[in-house]
Structures are given as structure tokens and as C-alpha cells.
Amino acid sequence: MFFKIISLISDVQAIASGKRIREAALVTETHGGYRWRKVKGTAVFELAGGRMCHAELHWYEAHGIGARE
């Protein structure tokens, strides 16, 4: 599904870090680094058909590496 983020990501919260991340080994192996956090936030998206929706998104981030996946 194709989408475009229309608004700024708001209500950003860390929901897991370190060994509490289920995929920690995979993320470290793929992207390097060692202090990964799983983060969530909300934003307004435009879907492929032009429909707008408010949704929550999740990603991983590490200091010096940035946001991934």
C-alpha cells in the first residue's frame, strides 16, 4: 500500500528499549549500533486513492544512526 505522511509526527513515545525489543538482534545485525529504541507516534496520512486518515506508526531508532524500519 502506498501512502504519504501529510502532517508532522506527534505524540512520540518510546515503547521499548534494549533487550525488551523482540527484534533487537535482527535490527542490530541489519543496521548496526547497540542502543535501539522502539518508538511510536501518530500522523495524518494520504492513502493511494486520495483518502486521508489518522494512524499510529512504529519505528526503531538509535543515536547516531537515526530512524529505521
Other Cβ atoms within 10 Å of 56 Cβ, number? 10
pLDDT of residue 1: 65
Phi, psi (degrees; rounded to nearest 5) at 19: -75, -10
Specify whether the CB–CB gap between 14 and 37 falls below 8 A: yes
The model's pTM = 0.80
- Counting as low any pLDDT under 50, the low residues of the chain are none
